[in-house]
């Protein structure tokens, strides 16, 4: 167990509502190994971003962690008070948000923001922090001469590089990247993902990569967790899961991904029938059964558990 950096055990997140509790995360368990890149994939509303927010302690008021545990190394972080949690954020866990422009302060230069982050988390003086910030910019491919530039003076891809530099500035052990390339074009997306992989490999940092793109999962991650309606549908080695998916939802996601074979693009793209259920209208039993072509009678009655730490489906019980 010494290679386990993050351990999430039976996590359940609840948002109290006047018509009944809303449960965006329901009994999710997984581990993240040191130096590993693990992807979290699923449609909008699957619970990917909420899982990351719960780990960062960003769901309070009105959300609560009703049950379960979150361990970072040998420290249980889901029960920490705000003062102790602030010391974890940035220092041990960094986060990259979807929109880099809203992640940066438009009134401060990128250099000032980097220095501020470094001073807040590392035992260095102002001169040392500036030197480290300059090195950080160079590492993400930004000329150190732009140290005093403002966020609006950068393109979207360059701003995302700045956000990566900010997330890595305090040398965290874990990076939570929440849709970090959604707003970027394909070529820039590939560059940013390759940069993130390179820097994390060099520092032996772990990454939780949240995305809806199976192509990004295939190119970037070591393992992948498939979420549906707040529950874990399937988890496993990326190559094995993509080549031999077991859960019907995983198969549907992979089939829905455009592909090019022998230079031809198919004119028909598979689509999973129906849509993700609302939190206030979850079906009984397995949440996926109304959309599943392989549903069994028991799927309508009770929720399947994760079998052999890999798939939650009665087809494999």
What domains, with CATH codes, occur in the chain? 4-92+172-258+269-316 (3.40.50.300)
Q: What is the pLDDT of residue 263?
A: 54
Please give the DSSP secondary-structure letter assigned to residue 140.
Answer: T
Residues 30 and 210 sit within 8 Å (Cβ to Cβ): no
Q: What is the pLDDT of residue 99?
A: 79
pLDDT, tens digit (0-9, with 9 covering 90-100), for 45-68? 999 999 999 999 998 778 899 999
Please give the DSSP secondary-structure letter assigned to residue 292.
Answer: -
DSSP alpha helix (H) spans, 31-140: 48-56, 82-88, 100-103, 110-121, 126-139
| Measured distance CA(165)–CA(91) in Å, rounded | 13
Residues 186 and 192 sit within 8 Å (Cβ to Cβ): no
Which parts of the chain have pLDDT scores under 70? 1-2, 259-267
pTM of the predicted model as reported, rounded to 2 decimal places: 0.91
Phi, psi of 249 (to 5 degrees): -70, -40
What crossing angle do the helices spanning 186-203 and 156-168 adopt, rounded to 10°? 10
Q: What is the pLDDT of residue 260?
A: 59
């Amino acid at each position: 167990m010494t290679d386990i950096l993050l351990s999430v055990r039976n996590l359940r997140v609840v948002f109290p509502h006047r018509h009944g509790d809303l449960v965006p995360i329901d009994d999710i368990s997984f581990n993240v190994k040191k130096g590993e890149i693990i992807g979290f994939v699923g449609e909008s509303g699957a619970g990917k971003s909420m899982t990351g927010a719960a780990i960062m302690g960003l769901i309070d008021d009105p959300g609560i962690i009703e049950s379960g545990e979150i361990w970072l190394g040998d420290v249980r972080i889901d029960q920490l008070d705000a003062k102790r949690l602030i010391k974890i954020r940035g220092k041990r866990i960094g986060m990259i948000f979807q929109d880099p422009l809203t992640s940066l302060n438009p009134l401060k230069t990128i250099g000032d923001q980097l220095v501020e982050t470094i001073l807040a988390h590392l035992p260095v003086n102002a001169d040392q922090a500036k030197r480290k910030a300059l090195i950080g910019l160079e590492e993400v491919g930004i000329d150190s001469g732009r140290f005093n530039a403002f966020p609006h003076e950068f393109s979207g891809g360059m701003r995302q590089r700045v956000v990566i530099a900010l997330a890595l500035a305090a040398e965290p052990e874990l990076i939570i990247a929440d849709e970090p390339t959604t707003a970027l074009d394909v070529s820039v997306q590939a560059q940013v993902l390759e940069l993130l992989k390179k820097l994390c490999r060099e520092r032996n940092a772990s990454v939780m990569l949240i995305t809806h793109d199976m192509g990004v999962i295939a190119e970037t991650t070591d393992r992948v967790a498939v979420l549906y309606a707040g529950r874990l549908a399937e988890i496993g080695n990326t190559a094995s899961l993509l080549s031999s998916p077991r859960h019907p939802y995983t198969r549907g996601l992979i089939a829905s991904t455009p592909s090019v074979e022998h230079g031809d693009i198919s004119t028909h793209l598979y689509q999973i029938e129906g849509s993700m259920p609302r939190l206030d209208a979850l079906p009984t039993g397995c949440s996926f059964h109304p959309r599943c072509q392989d549903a069994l009678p028991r799927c309508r009655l009770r929720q399947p558990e994760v079998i052999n730490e890999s798939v939650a489906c009665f087809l494999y019980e």
